Amino acid sequence: MGGKLLITLRENHVAPRFDLTTEVLLHSGGNSGAAAARKTLVLPRASAEELCHLILAEEVRTVICGAIEEEYYQYLTWKKIDVIDSVMGPWEKALERFVSGRLRPGDILHPIPGTYPL
């Protein structure tokens, strides 16, 4: 799973909506989490169009996000960008699952009381 990854953020979680995202995590470095480079970017305003432009400018290969409008989903996939959408929970868990090849659209990563951690 090489290439850059972008995760939409809201505090310590995957942002619930793509179009309202004002912070993103850029991760590059393939499958090796230890050798990977990470940076967080704060966007000047929430804008799905500007976020799509950033994704293309940074040559992102995969986007992890919460809800995304069909228009932007179709645009990004048309540009050959993998979109893993409807993900809920801490961004660290999403990244961990992505790196291990286990993250799927619709994954809910919040721990359920009385169960083992994901």
**Six-digit token pair at 6?**
């972008």
| pLDDT, tens digit, 9 for 90 and up, residues 44-64 | 999 999 999 999 999 999 999
Number of domains forming the structure of the chain? 1
For residue 35, is pLDDT > 90? Answer: no
Residues with Cβ within 8 Å of 43's Cβ and at least 6 positions away in sequence, in order, are 21, 22, 23, 24, 50, 51, 54
Q: Is residue 115 part of a domain?
A: no
Question: Which residue segment(s) compose the domain that 9 sits in?
Answer: 1-25+34-58+72-108
State the pLDDT confidence band at 114, using cuts at 50, 70 and 90. Answer: low
What letters, b where the CB count within 10 A reaches 16 and e where it falls short, cover 50-78? ebbebbeeeebbbbbbbbbeeebbebbee
Q: What amino acid is encoded at 83 in this protein? A: V
pTM of the model: 0.88
